[in-house]
Amino acid sequence: MPDDGPRRTADYDYPLPPELIAQHPPRERGESRLLVVARGDDGERGTGNGERDGGEVGPAPLSPLPSPPFRDLRFADLPSLLSPGDLLVLNTTRVRHARLLGTRPSGAPAEVLLIHPEADGSWVAIGKPGRALRPGKRIALGGGIEVETVAVLEEGERRVRFVGGSADDAMRVAGQLPLPPYIDRAPTDEDEDRYQTVFAEREGSVAAPTAGLHFTPELLTEIRARGVDVGRLDLEVGPGTFKPVEEDDWSRHPMHPERYDIPAGLVDQVAAARSRGGKVWAVGTTVVRALETAAVEDGTLRPGKGETRLLIAPGYRFRVVDRLVTNFHLPRSTLLLLVAAFLGRERMLDAYAHAVRERYRFYSYGDAMVIL
């Protein structure tokens, strides 16, 4: 391997048959498959949390590896993997109808994807075609509402404002759920329910925290009944979650900012779980990034609102998260780098190869993986 091997984006690629990309959710929420993977000790994984009794922070001991290191279960089996005293953390963000379909003055189609509002009432957005979003250009959305580009920002983002109505009016008139680019169809009434988690609260995201899509109210009740605590945070998932790493060296990849909110109650829950020797489970990579961004060196969390541009990749030292529930991610993506940091690159690639052989469903509406 070249000297820069661990930083080569090409080292985080894998072959995927297109037919394994899930285009629809499973028939019933929660009936997905679950691949259980033990963390590898290949010298590339990040380290976990250290002592739970007040000693020095250091690498967490690895769980004994099953033979083979993969188990094929159903998502309904997840509660059996958690222990009393553990803490399961969910991202409660809700996906907004942020994809606005409209027309240019010529009558040609255009679209705008709203990312987040600014204090002055404008919005940060992206859209296509780019020439339709030059400063001063307007796109008609219907109902007398137009969206006007005010300025071009870094990395091609736009600042836009609404004329003839509010952003809420625009989303009501012309908004769609922004399904991921690898789902090759328009959203349906089914997506209105299934592309939101059952615990979604405040609108703010352009993509669902997909690991959470598998949970049902009954499953959460069963988890709590096992003596597992359940915590919540909010991270607004942005379009950067789908942006491939285009740099040959992944460390040069620009991360788009995402806003998060860590409640004070979650800080207490994490501290309590640590004091009783419980493990902190993150449901999804968004939860990992929020917790790790808000953590200080000893793993203590800082409550409140913030913004993260954290790129987690092999070599990263985890401060809070011990266990990870996640979906399968795009090749050459920052999410795959995060999984490799937690699991080890070789073990991660082996797990993905196993999932392909066993015909798991991939990406947002696909199956799940849990890393122990």
Instruction: List pLDDT tens digits, range 56-97.
Output: 333 333 344 445 689 999 999 999 999 999 999 999 999 999
Q: If you average pLDDT over every residue of the chain, what do you get?
A: 90
Same fold, 5-95+192-371 and 99-176: no
Total Cβ atoms within 10 A of residue 327: 26
Contact 237, 206 (CB under 8 A): yes
Among 67-71, 127-131, 253-257, the least confident range: 67-71
pLDDT of residue 240: 81
Q: Assess whether pLDDT exceeds 50 at residue 13.
A: yes
**Chain centroid to CA 351: how far?**
19
CATH homologous superfamily for 99-176?
QueA-like (2.40.10.240)
CATH superfamily for 5-95+192-371 is QueA-like (3.40.1780.10)
289-339: pLDDT as tens digits: 999 999 998 889 999 999 999 999 999 999 999 999 999 999 999 999 999
- pLDDT above 70 for 46: no
pLDDT for residue 58: 33
**In the predicted model, what is the mean pLDDT of residues 152-162?**
92
Measured CA angle at 211 (ends 260, 198), to 5 deg: 80
The answer for residues whose C-beta is within 8 angstroms of residue 257's C-beta and 6 or more apart is 238, 307, 308, 309
pLDDT at 251: 87
Question: How many CB atoms lie under 10 A from the CB of residue 343?
Answer: 27
45, 336 in Cβ contact below 8 A?
A: no
Question: Would you kindly state where each structural domain of the chain is located, as residue ranges?
Answer: 5-95+192-371, 99-176
Instruction: Give pLDDT, residue 243.
Output: 80
pLDDT of residue 40: 63
Residue 110 — left, alpha, or beta (φ > 0 → left; ψ -120 to 50 → alpha)?
beta
| pLDDT exceeds cutoff 90 at 279 | yes
